[in-house]
């Protein structure tokens, strides 16, 4: 009887991971991939009772402990990434179709860490429904090996406790300052308004693309106040003002943002680089998940399944990003994995830590 067949957990995980690499977006897709690639999958998985049904895949990932899955993901990613340096950006994203009105379940919101230089996801954590990113960010930071890195977070993460956690992990921070830290923002704005510009380190870049001209300017001051009305900011060594001016179709738009950093000797060039690297998480992770992995349209939502499917997508993205032999897009690599078994075997070698031929 099909409903009484037993399947190895490792088999279920293995089939699912490579199904998602090859383009699967649902449990039905995973079952179809498994049945199509059964002979190949049996070369490294047992699959004594064949491929589980899509309902079995769904039930397993609904029950699977996402914290344990997350910890295994982080350990695997450390072997994949090797030594980390440079910018690690943290940012949140809502999986919009993961809500379940019948179960009174809101869409899940995940905070992810993105290694800019390596181009991979380092880890992720779900934000509890009755909480926000402020509580989730320290939990994620505690799980990551960040020694020597620069952690960048948008204004939500500009909190003293988060800054201290980053420092305790052996990293430095560059944090955006907005209205949620009104006293600190007011001090920094007044400092840059009252201090002659020539006293600050300055950098300017200009980029032109498809009729759009963007000029970025950065001023860095190590004389900015490290204390606000609410108290002291740990190891705050400098503040920065970044102004972006965009000219397009005869119209000009200017946006000014402020940052604090623990870097010992920050230059305007370094801060501009960190700010630009932070936004890579939007283009290289969130946008890719939405457009290439169709994440926002995914209806996987039962119990832990939605959270676990996010991790599956991150595994697939890390594998694809780690392959340097094929210069196609992420979408192109997923299609090649679906159509070209030798290429899928190449990704398998990367997955298990072997040196591919």
Task: Return the H-helix or E-strand segment holding 349.
Answer: helix 341-351
What is the C-alpha to C-alpha distance for residues 67 and 85, in angstroms, rounded to an integer? 26
Q: Report the DSSP beta bridge partners of residue 114.
A: 89, 121
Q: Are 90 and 64 in contact (CB under 8 A)?
A: no
Q: Which of 312, 316, 311, 310 is nearest to 350 (CA)?
A: 316
Which residues, at least 6 apart from 194, have a Cβ–Cβ distance to it below 8 Å?
none
Cα(107)–Cα(306) distance, rounded to whole angstroms? 9
Count each helix (H run) and each strand (E run) in the chain, helices first: 14, 11
In this prediction, residue 96 carries a pLDDT of: 77
Residue 298 has pLDDT above 90, yes or no: no
Q: Which residue has the tokens 């209205």?
A: 179
What is the value of pTM for the model shown?
A: 0.91
Q: Tell me, what's the pLDDT at 319? A: 95
pLDDT in tens, 177-220: 998 899 899 999 999 998 888 889 999 999 888 778 999 999 99
In order of their start, the domains of the chain are 2-63+323-351 (no CATH), 68-287 (3.90.350.10)
User: Do 149 and 89 form a contact (C-beta atoms < 8 A)?
Assistant: no
Q: Scanning the structure block, which residue is given the tokens 């420092």?
A: 167
Q: Are 112 and 121 in contact (CB under 8 A)?
A: yes
Q: What percent of the chain clears pLDDT 70, i.e. is strictly above it?
A: 94
Per-residue pLDDT band at 300 (split at 50, 70, 90): confident
Q: State the DSSP H helix or E strand holding residue 42, giving kind and residue range, or none if neither.
A: none
What is the model's pLDDT at position 177?
95
90 closest CA partner among 130, 132, 136, 148: 136
Q: What is the pLDDT of residue 227?
A: 64
For residues 282 and 148, give the distance between their C-alpha atoms in angstroms, rounded to a whole number.
Answer: 23
């Amino acid at each position: 009887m099909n409903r009484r067949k037993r399947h190895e957990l490792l088999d279920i995980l293995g089939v699912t991971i490579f199904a998602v690499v090859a383009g699967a977006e649902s449990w039905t897709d995973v079952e179809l991939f498994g049945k199509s690639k059964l002979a190949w999958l049996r070369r490294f998985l047992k699959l004594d009772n064949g491929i589980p049904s899509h309902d079995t895949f769904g039930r397993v990932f609904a029950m699977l402990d996402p914290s344990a899955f997350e910890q295994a993901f982080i350990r695997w990613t450390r072997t994949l990434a090797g030594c980390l340096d440079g910018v690690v950006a943290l940012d949140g994203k809502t999986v919009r179709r993961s809500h379940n009105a019948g179960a009174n379940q809101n869409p899940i919101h995940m905070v992810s860490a993105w290694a800019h230089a390596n181009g991979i996801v380092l880890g992720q954590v779900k934000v509890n429904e009755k909480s926000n990113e402020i509580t989730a960010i320290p939990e994620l930071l505690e799980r990551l090996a960040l020694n020597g890195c620069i952690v960048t977070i948008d204004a939500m993460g500009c909190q003293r406790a988060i800054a201290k956690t980053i420092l305790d992990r052996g990293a430095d921070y560059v944090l955006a300052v907005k209205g949620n830290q009104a006293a600190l923002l007011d001090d920094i704005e007044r400092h840059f308004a009252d201090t002659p510009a020539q006293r600050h380190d300055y950098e300017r870049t200009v980029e032109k693309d498809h009729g759009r001209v963007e000029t970025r300017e950065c001023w860095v001051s190590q004389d900015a106040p490290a204390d606000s009305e609410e108290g002291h900011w740990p190891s705050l060594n400098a503040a920065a003002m970044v102004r972006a001016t965009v000219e397009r179709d005869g119209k000009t738009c200017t946006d000014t943002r402020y940052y604090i950093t623990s870097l010992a000797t920050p230059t305007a060039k370094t801060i501009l680089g960190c700010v630009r690297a932070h936004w890579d998480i939007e283009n290289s992770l969130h946008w890719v998940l939405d457009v290439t992995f169709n994440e926002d349209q995914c209806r996987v939502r039962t119990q832990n399944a939605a959270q676990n499917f996010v991790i599956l997508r991150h595994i697939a993205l890390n594998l694809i990003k780690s392959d340097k032999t094929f210069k196609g897009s992420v979408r192109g690599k997923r299609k090649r994995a679906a159509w070209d078994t030798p290429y899928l075997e190449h990704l398998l070698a990367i997955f298990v830590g072997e040196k591919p031929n």
